Amino acid sequence: MIAKRPGFVAIVVLTLPLGIGVNATIFNAVDACLIRPLPASYPEFEDWRADHGVCESVVASFPRSMNLTGRHEPARVRIGMVSQGYFGALGIQPLLGRTFAAEEHRPGARPVAVIGYRMWQRQLAARPALLAGTSS
């Protein structure tokens, strides 16, 4: 069958490596840009975002873990330090409270946090005063 259709075999032999090469190239690009974190500090990210107006939104997340201490036993929690516009770019609205205000991203601003509902319920006893920025 192969001897009767050498053109078809040639197309398959040339197309298969091309497809594999394109697939590998796309995977490497996605891996480098989306899966692996960019090797940049926050000030470098801000410079990059200011210089590249190609995308509608450019945001960053810097994952960390910290110890949560207070009234209960200390707990290790995952956090993400995020850039300005993070929640808006992802289309996320808070169930209660608010996200970050623009002035809270300036150097020297008072630290604030957006917490998940589960953490608010379990570790913070669902205190409504926390949503207003005061503690009770």
What pLDDT is attached to residue 67? Answer: 92
Q: Please report, rounded to a whole number, the percentage of residues in the chain having pLDDT higher than 90.
A: 16
Residue 61 and residue 65: Cα distance in Å, rounded? 13
Radius of gyration of the chain (CA): 24
Tell whether pTM > 0.75: no
Q: Name the more confident of 91 and 1.
A: 91
End-to-end CA distance of the chain: 81
Residue 9 and residue 5: Cα distance in Å, rounded? 7
Q: Name the more confident of 42 and 85.
A: 85
CA dihedral sign of residues 74, 68, 124, 130: positive
Q: How far is CA 73 from CA 41, 68, 69, 124, in A?
A: 33, 8, 7, 12
What pLDDT is attached to residue 97? Answer: 84
What pLDDT is attached to residue 74? Answer: 87
In this structure, of 29-38, 68-77, 127-136, the range with the lowest mean pLDDT score is 127-136
- Residue 16 reports pLDDT greater than 80: yes
The full set of domain ranges for the chain reads 56-132
